Amino acid sequence: MSTYAQKKGFGATVWDYLTTVDHKKIAVLYLIAGGFFFVVGGLEAMFIRIQLAVPNSDFVSAGMYNQILTMHGTTMIFLAAMPLLFGFMNAIMPLQIGARDVAFPFINALGFWLFFFGGVFLNLSWFLGGAPDAGWTSYASLSLASEGHGIDFYLLGLQISGAGTLMGGINFLVTIINMRAPGMTYMRMPLFTWTTFVASALILFAFPPLTVGIFLLMFDRLFGSNFFVTAAGGNTIIWEHLFWIFGHPEVYILVLPAFGIFSEIIPVFSRKRLFGYSSMVFATVLIGFLGFMVWAHHMFTVGLGPIANAIFAVATMAIAVPTGIKIFNWLFTMWGGSIKFTTPMYYAVAFIPSFLMGGVTGVMLASAAADYQYHDTYFVVAHFHYVIVGGVVFAILAGTAFYWPKMFGTMLNETLGKITFWLFFIGFHLTFFIQHFLGLWGMPRRIFTFLEGQGLETGNFVSTVGAFFMAAATVVLVINIIITTVKNEKVGNDPWGDGRTLEWAIPSPPPFYNFKQLPLVRGLDPLWIEKMEGKKGMTPAEPLGDIHMPNASFIPFVISFGLFVAAFGAMYRLDYGWGLPVLIIGLLITFGSMFLRSVKDDHGFHIHKEELIDEDDKGVKA
Amino acid sequence: MENNQTNTGNATVDIAYRRKKNAEEMRHQVITFTLMIFLTIIAFVAVGAGMSGWFTVPFILLLAAVQVVFQLYYFMHMSHKGHEAPALFLYSGLLVGLITVLAFVTIVWW
Amino acid sequence: MHAEEKMTLEKWPASPEKQTLEAKNKFLGFWLFLGGETVLFASLFATYLALKDKVPGPDHALAKDLFEIPLAFLMTMILLTSSLTSVYAMYHMKNFEFKKMQLWLGITVILGFGFLALEIYEFYHYVHHYGHTFTSSAFGSAFYTLVGFHGAHVAFGLAWIITLMVRNAKRGLSLYNAPKFYVASLYWHFIDVVWVFIFSVVYLMGMVG
Ligand code: HEM
Ligand SMILES: [Cu+2]
């Protein structure tokens, strides 16, 4: 079953990826799918900005605008940002802890395919009668009133992809707890691993409330229940709570891994160990914990009363403390270091002030009384794009440049990378800085157009110009990727030259079993320690032996596909006679393949010692 | 792969000893079960007797909590070692859950 | 030694559910999943509590009209007992007594079906005697969703345990399937934990008013 080091045809490669359980290939799948949805969401953003470039515009209709807006937000959060981060987690985290594999390779694959089919399902709404149009928050009264099947696409699509995310989270948690290499104690784990850990724990606890909320709304829309129907005793605030009990931790699920990526990049290019490692870990955990206590800051204007508002306001502001600790630690890491300004480092340096601005407006919004002014204006739009784009998207772009050589064995072009950076950085601030003021000048969020003569023309026009800069940046990035892939100049283990952690101790890309011999970890930044002692690589912790690997499987794809089919049935059940049978067939496919999986033993296979020795002679090209 | 054999020395002695320990543990389980049944009956009786809600509600919630501790620590072996991570995550889940319940009984209707 | 190796009493370890790395992962992963399930059920409980007795008009049945002690008590006893029988099954698993384990699992399954049957009867009763349905009121929606989610967990647990019993009937215990049995029994206990809260919060507190 060893399928490495062979040139394969196109069909075989596709089949390989459809059935893979290798975390590094799943990472590539996440990157491709997430990248695709990022482009889709980006196009939607461009349509929004074009519509809002001038007053009284009729580029799109009001109804269409609502759909584009909703799909932009939903796609960016669930189908672009999170999967792209999952891609890096899959690619890098197991290497950082010195593991040969993840804890649940099969479930890892299943998680990806569920996300993928959920995302495809959601986006098919464009072609099947209209997309969801109640905003990415889909507040119950509005979404119950929405006609057509748009909202149903949202509910079913997110339910499927959410299940995948949950599985991915559990897999990461168990991998980190159980599969660390000898000597890799918790307090020696790189920060990207730590942030993956905490973000996964947040996923574990934040996604169930979303699951429940979506079920309730789905029951109301498709099965006649009355959770949010006030006339029958229901209460629409319940949705808001459930959504935000999920929704606030969700922003930390996004931003903590982003912090993790920067915490890797900054020490490498400052050539200095991360300042205040243990306080960084502490701050990460604390942010994760507090993240669950603050959700009602999204609901200050609902009328929860002064006591509840006060509690949630104070809790929210408290999060600024651990976040501040992090900012200072990054600055002190750079302080006195011998800094190398590579593309990833550009993003890291730009990230600090950009994200800080988002944080500052966050504290402003946390003042419940003041929020009555800011709420539902462009001030909020500016705030969350400063944290999401200035934090998460910068980290994704930085991570792409930083980890590309590790994942694909070839280096992205630095010049083009820096062009992308400058275009994106300028475009970002041009687009969103002015939106703070648009909001303060009274422009409401989620409106499809505005009138002349209200002082909003210039601001909106500037904002749109900025968006075109970011689009151009993305185009340059794509060109860069194409050129790099065509040239395909191979690099060695440690292409940046200053790698500190275990992933830089093995070939790029790593062989499918990652580590021929598990490394012995002697401290934080294990590779750096060995380098400082004049060694070239890690000392092995075990003799060369057989390696156990899992078998590839097509079942994850089939299980997810079954749910995809079932979702159509559930949605069209009331409209067409074929709805119910399709629902049943879909569920049969899913449960049937789960059943198959559980009765068919799968013991994996072994790579024998002799094969590993052979590999050495050939110089390990996976 | 770690496929460690934990048996030591003389196999038959080992087994006899372990069986005895298992049987002893099983006895504890049965005692736990009896207690659980007992608590359940008390809870139902308290409600059946029609005492004031101010007493019964906290009382049955307390009994429920005790029962759950029994289930977790005895039936689900959380008292055994090697359950640190499970306990951490279960209690974190419980904390998030309790906050949710608290919010829903205080700030959903007002 | 491989997980699927044929086992003898002499070789059977003290905690067969945690011998291989796969088993350790499964064990931990399943506990974490239960942590997530805790939040899931908490959200359902929270929703139920917020919507308890919220009905469109005065002629709708409320919690105190619906629930009766005998039925709730019987269901509770059955499910609690099934928890004990699954403990017995795991006891025999640790002693490498496959037949006895299967027997106790079988009893657990029968009790589980008994519980489900009573639950179906209960729902039927509410629908036909009180007009208390999934769609009649927010209270009805919340009640059937919470209790029904639990019921669905019971049904899934039954299907799972039966599959394991049938699949392994001929080949006995190994280090490959011991963790599977163990994890299924954890699931069964968790279902029981949830029920403890359901009978306390929904039924008993419902009768108190
Ligand atoms: C990169 C360029 C981007 C541009 C030009 C852009 C632009 C916009 C605009 C104009 C809105 C509409 C605001 C309103 O009318 O209320 C919006 C909403 C939103 N954006 Fe973006 N955005 C970008 C990237 C992102 C990214 C990367 C994310 C998340 C990862 C994101 C998440 C959201 C969300 C959640 C909303 C709210 C949607 C809703 O109200 O339902 N955006 N964006
Ligand atoms: Cu928030």
User: Whole-prediction pTM value?
Assistant: 0.94
| Band of pLDDT at residue B17, cut at 50, 70 and 90 | confident
Please give the distance, rounded to the nearest whole angstrom, from the Cα atom of residue A72 to the centre of ligand 1.
6
Q: Tens digit of pLDDT for each residue in A208-243?
A: 999 999 999 999 999 999 999 999 999 999 999 999
* Domains of chain A by start residue, with CATH: 10-542 (1.20.210.10)
Q: What is the pLDDT of residue B13?
A: 66
Which ligand minimizes its atom distance to the CA of A430? 1
Percent of chain A topping pLDDT 90: 94
Residue A475 pLDDT exceeds 90: yes
Taking CA atoms only, the protein residue closest to ligand 1 atom 22 is A45
Average pLDDT over residues A568-572: 95
Residue A621 is predicted with a pLDDT of 41
| pLDDT bucket at A568, cuts 50 / 70 / 90 | very high
Q: Are residues B65 and B97 in the same domain?
A: no
Domain of B68, in residue numbers: 1-79
Contacts of residue C25, Cβ cutoff 8 Å, sequence gap at least 6: A103, A104, A174, A178, A179
B28 and B74 assigned to the same domain: yes
* Shared domain check, B91 and B50: no
**Is residue A42 scored above 50 in pLDDT?**
yes
Residue A533's pLDDT is 94
Q: Same domain, yes or no, for B17 and B62?
A: yes
Are B13 and B37 found together in one domain? yes
Chains B, C: CB contacts within 8 A come to 155
Measured in degrees and rounded to the nearest 5, phi and psi for residue A340 equal -110, 120
Q: Are B62 and B11 in the same domain?
A: yes
Q: Exposure of A373 by Cβ count < 10 A (0-12 exposed, 13-18 middle, 19+ buried)?
A: middle
- pLDDT bin (cut points 50, 70, 90) of residue A1 is very low
Q: How far is the CA of A77 from the centre of ligand 1 (A)?
A: 9
Residue B3 has pLDDT above 90, yes or no: no
A106 lines ligand 1 (CB under 6 A): no
Give CB contacts under 8 A, 24+ apart, made by A128-134.
A128/A153, A130/A67, A131/A67, A131/A68, A131/A70, A131/A71, A132/A67, A132/A70, A132/A71, A132/A74, A133/A63, A133/A66, A133/A67, A133/A69, A133/A70, A134/A66, A134/A70
Contact A8, A91 (CB under 8 A): no
A599 vs C4, C167, C176: nearest CB: C167
**Interface test with chain B among C19, C26, C54, C208, by most B beta carbons within 10 Å:** C208
Residue A622 has pLDDT above 60, yes or no: no
Among C28, C39, C55, the residue with its CB nearest the CB of A233 is C55
- Domains of chain C, residue spans: 16-48+70-208
* Mean pLDDT calculated for residue range A333-355: 97
Band of pLDDT at residue C208, cut at 50, 70 and 90: confident
CB C8 within 8 A of CB C97: no
Residue whose Cα lies nearest atom 37 of ligand 1: it is A73
My answer on whether B75 and B94 are in the same domain is no
CA C194 to each of CA A36, A571, B67, C45: distance values in angstroms, whole numbers, following the listed order: 41, 31, 11, 10
Please state the three-class secondary structure of C3-26 as a single string: CCCCCCCCCCCCCHHHCCHHHHHH
- Using 50, 70 and 90 to split pLDDT, how confident is the model at A103? very high
Q: What is the mean pLDDT of chain A?
A: 95
CB contact under 8 A, C28 and A232: no
Q: What ipTM was assigned to the predicted interfaces of this complex? A: 0.95
In this prediction, residues A12-22 reach a mean pLDDT of 95
pLDDT of residue B9: 52
Expressed in percent and rounded to 5, the helix, strand and coil fractions of chain C are 75, 0, 25
B105 touches chain A (CB under 8 A): no
Question: What does the block give as tokens for A489?
Answer: 């100049």
pLDDT 10s digits, C175-207: 989 999 999 999 999 999 999 999 999 999 999
Q: Which is higher by pLDDT, C16 or A390? A: A390
Of B1, B104, B110, the CB nearest to A241: B104
Average pLDDT score, chain C: 94
Residue B72 and residue B94 in one domain: no
> In this structure, are B71 and B87 located in the same domain?
no
Pocket probe for ligand 1: among A381, A456, A468, the residue whose CB has the most ligand atoms within 8 Å is A381
The yes-or-no verdict on residue B80 having pLDDT over 50 is yes
Cα torsion C141, C147, C149, C152: sign: negative
Report chain C residues whose CB lies below 8 A from the CB of A213: 43
C-beta of residue A551 within 8 angstroms of C-beta of residue A601? no
What is the distance between the alpha carbons of residues A104 and A175, in angstroms, rounded to a whole number?
Answer: 8
Looking at the fold, whether B39 and B54 belong to one and the same domain comes out as yes
Q: From the CA atom positions of chain B, what is the Rg in Å?
A: 21
State the fold for domain C16-48+70-208. Four Helix Bundle (Hemerythrin (Met), subunit A) (1.20.120)
CA–centroid distance, A361 to ligand 2, in Å, is 12
Angle at A442 between CA A438 and CA A448, to 5 degrees: 75
Assigned token pair, C131: 């007009």
Give yes or no: residues B35 and B86 share one domain: no
Residue partners of C70: CB distance under 8 A and separation at least 6: none
Q: What is the pLDDT of residue B6?
A: 45
For A147: left if phi > 0, alpha if psi spans -120 to 50, otherwise beta; the answer is beta
Q: Considering its fold, how many domains does chain B have in total? A: 2
Which residue's CA lies nearest to atom 20 of ligand 1?
A73
Confidence of residue B63 (pLDDT cuts 50, 70, 90): very high
Report pLDDT digits (tens) over C5-53. 678 888 888 888 888 899 999 999 999 999 999 999 999 999 999 999 9
Q: For residue B94, what is the nearest residue in chain A, using CA coordinates?
A: A205
